[in-house]
Amino acid sequence: MSDPLAHIINRPDTWRGFDAPYSRTLLPTSANSDWHGVDALPTGFNPLDEQLTFKGWPLRGSIEVLSDGCGMGSMGLFLPAMEKLSEQKRWQVFIAPPQTPYAPLLAARGIDIQQVLMVHPKNKEELLWATEQALRSTTCSAVFSWLGATDYRYAELRKLQIAAADSDTLALLFRANSAADSHTPASLRLAISGYRTVDILKQRGGQPIRHITLNSEDDYPEQPQLWELPQPHTLPIQQRHLAPVC
């Protein structure tokens, strides 16, 4: 059976960096590599690693990031992890991003943009399907999915959590702050509460922690830093209506 992710990759509206060859980038992690069996990935921010149960991003479950912006301003939190994951030579997938990632910044951070895929589902059902298939594929090192302010049933989020738990993929789900009062199956839920300030709202095996301030020593001069200032109101994610996945 063919990889379900191939249906996404072969779509005409899927961006693949600089048209990277399919066979070159879809390389699974070998059993004797340093990544095999790893269940956590250092965040690149020591103050945050110290407060996380597994001392890094969990790789056997989903991570929710709540933000009152579009979510792209939270990406500064994941640039160190993206840089490390780029060594795997597997896809890093952006599903329903509200904006196009800034390629010069990714390249400046050592992230191979030939390994970046952008997928634009036309509706909620396609978004959930594409996210689940990417998580279940062995060809993705990271999946960033913008769920937005839409309401989701617990069962829908549970399917994503199960898919993430069965893989070694970094699974990031961006949601609006309005989701904070809803139950979530995610292994970790974070909120951006201030400039370079993160709240751990929920973590499996650990306690909530408020107001973790992250350092700026890894910033790149003359590049956008992707750290947002919280806004008083949630901004809706712009959705593109494109051809069906199937």
Q: What is the CATH number of the domain that holds 181?
A: 3.40.50.300
Mean pLDDT calculated for residue range 169-186 = 94
The whole-number pLDDT of residue 238 equals 30
Q: Is residue 92's pLDDT more than 70?
A: yes
| Domain assignment present for 46 | yes
Give 149's pLDDT tier (boundaries 50, 70, 90).
confident
| Domain assignment present for 115 | yes
| Domain assignment present for 242 | no
| Domain assignment present for 241 | no
| Domain assignment present for 239 | no
Give 59's pLDDT tier (boundaries 50, 70, 90).
very high
**Total domains present in the chain:** 1
Give 37's pLDDT tier (boundaries 50, 70, 90).
very low
Nearest to 91 by CA among 2, 170, 36: 170
Mean pLDDT calculated for residue range 85-106 = 91
Which three-class secondary structure state does DSSP give residue 40? strand
Give dist(CA 195, CA 148) in Å, integer: 20
Residue with tokens 């750290």: 227
Mean pLDDT calculated for residue range 157-184 = 95
| Domain assignment present for 33 | no
Mean pLDDT calculated for residue range 203-225 = 78
Give the residue numbers spanning the domain of 152: 5-21+38-213
| Domain assignment present for 218 | no
Among the ranges given (4-8, 46-50, 51-55, 181-185), the one the predictor scored with the smallest mean pLDDT: 4-8
Per residue in 17-34, is it b (16+ CB within 10 Å) or e — as a string? beebeeeebbeebeeeee
| Domain assignment present for 237 | no
